[in-house]
Structures are given as structure tokens and as C-alpha cells.
């Protein structure tokens, strides 16, 4: 067909060429045009034949494709059946009877349970038959055990009923025992017995809510097992108030377990004027934990429980027995509990679903927190909920429920005790510095033979704005302070005509963060770390002091002050040597006054054998 089309195209091309020649010569070309038109008819006929052959070829191709698809589908079905059969074969090979997991009796026990079978004339013909007999034996034995279990359950119920009867009889003895207790009270007082106190305590403890009851029992156990307990725990409140609270709860919830008459319930109902006071009213009973020895300053933790929001709060207080001036100590007491554990500042109510519960009462968590702080109820810390066995969820939506209460209780009490002791030590240092009642020679970080030439003349408290007004490279205030507050002080050190002002910032998370010193020297002008490298090095030397470098029961403020004073002495002695009039002579043992191009001063104290000296 291709050859015929090519021939016709060639003939048509020749005719068209002849028509062109005839037109150029001016002759008539009608005959040639008729022949060319007939050639077009032949081309049309050939084109139809080509299309018909193409269509027949496509139809044949489609039929062949359908045959191939059918055969492919049949092969895939066969492969699927083969794989299915293989899985069935593997499953059959791995098949095990359910009784294979049973622990059957041994041969000795088997013949002991069924005597006479061993001597029987009927012997098992196969292992399978023997196994079936074993299973029948096991079934009979298990049925017998089930009957024994049922009988034991019935006897247990009878014993429980008997115990309940005996318990009711013992309860009926309570009035007689109370009469006996009141009658024998003079005898108890004469023998100095504490039975009355223990009875009263047990009577009050049973009215504690579940979280406070768990906390009290664990604290009491921890106090008893300790050789020298560092704390004292007691329940504060009246039994009558707790009963009245239960009556109020019974009126709101008729399904309560305790039995009271309708008349008592009506008498107990006292409507609250403020709905916020009603929703956030604490339980009448609370726990008081006292840390510290009697006769001195003590830390008192008041732990309350709120039934509506299902969380506990802690409020720290100071208990001062003498008339010692502890002005300003309460600033740090309120932050003692905020930095026990990371990211636990008490700024939220860590109870799951508290937002939805408060939303139904037209309240927000922020309003609850503000109300608790205004009433001095404290904060709802996560660690407090953990030792009370209350599940918590923090701002990161991490759910936590402490299961090992003993370990958590010990760790929490130990952390509170360490924070309290460090705060006591710090407050004593601040009072000693304020009253200038200190002995720096007995509190040196090293044995230093020479005396100090400078003297501390003033230690006063300043505002944080006055401290921040000082410019120093060591001063860094991050935007996220993580709930840390600061107390600021100003110390004045004088030697001759020279004066140095020390601005001290003490963080509330001490001793996790050390106090920060900023120094300013007034001598021949004002010199700070911004314009004098020696003052900058002096600040670094004072602030680099760490507790690991000191002995046990260290006084960090005294040690920092000691470093600052002898560094100021060395600065004046080295700087004064370059003046025309030598006001300060060399008194400290150091080899060279300056070192390197930056002119480092010998602030660092070294001891090698019997040689004591300062070096850069």
C-alpha cells in the first residue's frame, strides 16, 4: 500500500508540474486538471483502504490484549491460591493443641491421684490415648478444686459477717470507754501519760481529706523512723468544724456514706454570701509542718486542701521565739518553695481538667490563683500534689502521678531542709554585715598571715533600681527570669582617702545561684569595670568564688567580702606605687605588681609549703 501511495503522489506531482509549464506557455490546461482531479479520487480511495486496515489491526490488537489479560489474571489467581495454601501449610505445621500450655501432673502424682490405674490390665495403646486420659484426670481434679474454692468463699463470707458482728459489739463499747477515759484522766495526769493527746489526735485525723491524710501518715512515719527528725507535723483544726463540713457536703451530695438526720442537715446549711469564698473554701482541717529547733527561728508550712478544685496549697511562715530583728527576711521566705524543682513556680493549678471544671463555675485559673494569694493560702506546687498522691499535669500537658510516695517524700523534705538551712545561714550573714558584727579573720578561705588594711564601714539595703543603675559586664538580666527575685545591698569599704562601693544582688534561688557583686572605686576619680581592667578583674575574682572552694558550713558572703577587701588592698598598693606621692605602701606578699600587656594584678592567693604569696 505504501508503494501505491508513493506512485500516485509522484504521478500527481508530475501532472502539477506539467500544468505549471502549460500555464507559463499560455496553452489550455483543462485536460491536465481533469487528470489531476482523478488522481485525487484515487488517493482518497487509497486513504480509506489505509484507515480500514489500521482499524482492523487495532481490533486484532485489542483482542490479543484481552487474551493476555485473561491469562495474566488466571496466573495471579493461581499464585494467590499457592500462597494461601503455603500459609495454611505453615499454620498446620505450627498448630498446637490448647492443652499443651497446661502443666499436667507428673507420673508419680498421676498414679497417686488415681490409684489402681498402674496395675490395671487395660494399658494405653498409644501416647495420644494416654494423653487424653491425663486430660480427663486434670478436668476432674480442677472441678474438685473449684468446689473447694466455692466452699472457701462461703466460709470467708461467714467469717466476714462474724467479724462485722464483733465490730458492732466493739463499737457499742465506745461510750463506756469514753466514760472510763474521763474517769481515769486524773490518773493519766499523775502518771504523765499522753494517751489523751493521742486519742484526740486520732479523733481529728480521721476527718482529714484523703490527700492530707496520706501526707500526714507518711510524714508521721518518716518522723518516727528518723533518729533525729528535723521537722514536726501536726493537724490543726477542730473536729466539730470538720463534722459540720461533712454535713454541708452531705446536703449537696445525698449519696454520702455517713448517717446523719435530716434535722442536723438543715441546721448545718449556712449559705455563703460570696460565691468565690464558697467555691474556694479550704477544708477546716489543715496540716502544719514546723522545721527548725525550738527556741530559735522556725519555718512553718501550712498545707491546706481545697475540695472544689481538688488540689493542695502550701504557705510558708516564720516563727520567731525571741525579739530578734528579722526585718526583710519574709522577702526570701515566700520564695523558699518556688525553686525546689525546675519549672515548678506555683503559677498554675496543675490539676487535669481544672479549666473545664472552673469554666462550669464561671471562674478562671488566674482568678483562683489571685484569690489564693490574697487570702495567704499559698500556691499549688506540683511537688506538693505528688506527695499528697494527687495526679498533676503541667503547662506542657505532661501527666504525672507519683507512685513511690516514700522516696518522693524523703527527697522533698530533704530539699526543703537544705533550702531552709542555707537561707538561715544567709540571713545570719546579712544581719552580721548590717550590724558589722563579723570576724573575717576566722572565716578566711585560706590561711592568710597578713592583716587586712581596708575596713567595712557600711552595709545597707537598696532597691533593685539602684542596683540596675550600675553598669558592669557581669550584670546580665534575662527577659525570662523564671520567677527569680532579688534583694540588693550596698557595702562601703574604706582605706585612707580611697573608698569602694560594692553593690550586691542576692537571688531568691540561692544557693542554686550565687550572689553577684558590682564594684565601684572612688579614688582619683570614679573607676568601674567599664573603664578599668583591674576593677573588672577584681569583680571576676569575687564572683568566681564557688561553694566547692570553701569548707563545710561556709559563709559565702563573708568569703566574697574577704576576697573583695584584700583585692582592694592589692589594687591600692599596686596603683599607688605609680603615683607621685606614695600613699599606700606594699604590705601584701607578691612578686610583681603587674603582669603581661593587660597589666594584671596579683589577686590570686597561692600557698606552696610555707610560702604564702599573691600572683596574677
Sole residue written with cell 472457701 = 152
- Percent with pLDDT over 90 in the chain: 12
- What pLDDT does residue 333 have? 76
Rounded to the nearest integer, the mean pLDDT of the chain is 79
Residue 339 is placed in which grid cell?
A: 525553686
Query: Residue 194: which pLDDT band, with cuts at 50, 70 and 90?
Result: low
Average of per-residue pLDDT across 345-364:
82
Cis peptide before 250 (omega within 30 of 0): no
Asked whether residue 182 carries a pLDDT value surpassing 60, the answer given is yes
User: For residue range 373-427, what is the model confidence (pLDDT) as tens digits?
Assistant: 888 888 888 888 888 888 888 766 677 776 778 888 888 888 888 888 888 888 8
Asked whether residue 446 carries a pLDDT value surpassing 90, the answer given is no
Q: How many CB atoms lie within 10 A of CB 116?
A: 7
Q: How many CB atoms lie within 10 A of CB 212?
A: 21
Asked whether residue 492 carries a pLDDT value surpassing 90, the answer given is yes
Query: Residue 122: which pLDDT band, with cuts at 50, 70 and 90?
Result: very low
Domain-by-domain residue ranges, the chain? Answer: 2-93, 208-422, 436-615
Q: Which residue has the higher pLDDT, 188 or 116?
A: 188
Average of per-residue pLDDT across 203-220:
86
Going from the C-alpha of 321 to that of each of 167, 299, 315, 376, the distances in angstroms are: 47, 12, 19, 22
User: For residue range 243-298, what is the model confidence (pLDDT) as tens digits?
Assistant: 777 777 666 665 544 443 443 434 344 444 555 677 788 888 889 998 877 667 88
- Percent with pLDDT over 70 in the chain: 79
Structural element, H or E, at residue 58 = helix 30-94
Of 420, 437, 410, give the one whose Cα is nearest residue 296: 420
Cα angle for residues 536, 540, 541 (degrees, 5° grid): 115
pTM assigned to the model: 0.61
Backbone angles phi, psi at 345, to 5 degrees: -100, -5
Query: Residue 81: which pLDDT band, with cuts at 50, 70 and 90?
Result: very high
Q: Which residues of 166-204 are buried (b: 16+ CB within 10 A; e: fewer)?
A: eeeeeeeeeeeeeeeeeeeeeeeeeeeeeeeeeeeeeeb
Amino acid at each position: 500500500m505504501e508503494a501505491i501511495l508513493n506512485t500516485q503522489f509522484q504521478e500527481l506531482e508530475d501532472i502539477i508540474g506539467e500544468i505549471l509549464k502549460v500555464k507559463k506557455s499560455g496553452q489550455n490546461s483543462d485536460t491536465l486538471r481533469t487528470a489531476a482531479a482523478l488522481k485525487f479520487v484515487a488517493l482518497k480511495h487509497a486513504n480509506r483502504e489505509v484507515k480500514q486496515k489500521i482499524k482492523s489491526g487495532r481490533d486484532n490488537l485489542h483482542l490479543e490484549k484481552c487474551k493476555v489479560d485473561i491469562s495474566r489474571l488466571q496466573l495471579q489467581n493461581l499464585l494467590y491460591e499457592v500462597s494461601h495454601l503455603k500459609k495454611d501449610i505453615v499454620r498446620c505445621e505450627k498448630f498446637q493443641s490448647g492443652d499443651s500450655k497446661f502443666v499436667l501432673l507428673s507420673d508419680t502424682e498421676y498414679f497417686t491421684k488415681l490409684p489402681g490405674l498402674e496395675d490395671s490390665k487395660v494399658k494405653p495403646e498409644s501416647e495420644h490415648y494416654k494423653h487424653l486420659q491425663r486430660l480427663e484426670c486434670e478436668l476432674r481434679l480442677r472441678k474438685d478444686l473449684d468446689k473447694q474454692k466455692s466452699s472457701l468463699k462461703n466460709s470467708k463470707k461467714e467469717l466476714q459477717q462474724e467479724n462485722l458482728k464483733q465490730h458492732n459489739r466493739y463499737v457499742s463499747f465506745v461510750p463506756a470507754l469514753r466514760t472510763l477515759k474521763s474517769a481515769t484522766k486524773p490518773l493519766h495526769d499523775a502518771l504523765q501519760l499522753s494517751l489523751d493527746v493521742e486519742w484526740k489526735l486520732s479523733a481529728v485525723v480521721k476527718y482529714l481529706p484523703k490527700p492530707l491524710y496520706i501526707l500526714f501518715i507518711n510524714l508521721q512515719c518518716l518522723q518516727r523512723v528518723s533518729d533525729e527528725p528535723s521537722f514536726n507535723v501536726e493537724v490543726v483544726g477542730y473536729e466539730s468544724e470538720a463534722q459540720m463540713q461533712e454535713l454541708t457536703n452531705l446536703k449537696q451530695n445525698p449519696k454520702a456514706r455517713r448517717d446523719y438526720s435530716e434535722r442536723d442537715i438543715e441546721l448545718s446549711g449556712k449559705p455563703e454570701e460570696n460565691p468565690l469564698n464558697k467555691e474556694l473554701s479550704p477544708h477546716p482541717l489543715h496540716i502544719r509542718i514546723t522545721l527548725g529547733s525550738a527556741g530559735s527561728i522556725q519555718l512553718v508550712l501550712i498545707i491546706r486542701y481545697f475540695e472544689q478544685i481538688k488540689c493542695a496549697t502550701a504557705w510558708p511562715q516564720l516563727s520567731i521565739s525571741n525579739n530578734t530583728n528579722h526585718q526583710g527576711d519574709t522577702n526570701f521566705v515566700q520564695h523558699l518553695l518556688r525553686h525546689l524543682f525546675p519549672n515548678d513556680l506555683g503559677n498554675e493549678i496543675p490539676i487535669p481538667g481544672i479549666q473545664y471544671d472552673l469554666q462550669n463555675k464561671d471562674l478562671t485559673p488566674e482568678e483562683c490563683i489571685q484569690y489564693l494569694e490574697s487570702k495567704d493560702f499559698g500556691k499549688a506546687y506540683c511537688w506538693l500534689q505528688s506527695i499528697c498522691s494527687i495526679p498533676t499535669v503541667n503547662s506542657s500537658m505532661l501527666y504525672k502521678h507519683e507512685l513511690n510516695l516514700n522516696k518522693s517524700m524523703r527527697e522533698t523534705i530533704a530539699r526543703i531542709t537544705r533550702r531552709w538551712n542555707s537561707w538561715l545561714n544567709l540571713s545570719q550573714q546579712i544581719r552580721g554585715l548590717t550590724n558589722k558584727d563579723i570576724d573575717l579573720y576566722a572565716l578566711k578561705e585560706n590561711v592568710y598571715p597578713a592583716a587586712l588594711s581596708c575596713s567595712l564601714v557600711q552595709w545597707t539595703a537598696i532597691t533593685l533600681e539602684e542596683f540596675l543603675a550600675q553598669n558592669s559586664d557581669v550584670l546580665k538580666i534575662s527577659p525570662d527570669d523564671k520567677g527569680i527575685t532579688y534583694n540588693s545591698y550596698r557595702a562601703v569599704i574604706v582605706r585612707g582617702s580611697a573608698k569602694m562601693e560594692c553593690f550586691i544582688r542576692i537571688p531568691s534561688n540561692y544557693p542554686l545561684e550565687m550572689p553577684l557583686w558590682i564594684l565601684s572605686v572612688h579614688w582619683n576619680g570614679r573607676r568601674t569595670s567599664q573603664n578599668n581592667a583591674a576593677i573588672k578583674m577584681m569583680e571576676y575574682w569575687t564572683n568566681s568564688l564557688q561553694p566547692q572552694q570553701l569548707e563545710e558550713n561556709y559563709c559565702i558572703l563573708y568569703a566574697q567580702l574577704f576576697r573583695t577587701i584584700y583585692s582592694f588592698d592589692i589594687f591600692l598598693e599596686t596603683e599607688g606605687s605609680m603615683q607621685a606621692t606614695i600613699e599606700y605602701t606594699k604590705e601584701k606578699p607578691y612578686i610583681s605588681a603587674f603582669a603581661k600587656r593587660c597589666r594584671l594584678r596579683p589577686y590570686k592567693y597561692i600557698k606552696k609549703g610555707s610560702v604564702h604569696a599573691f600572683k596574677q
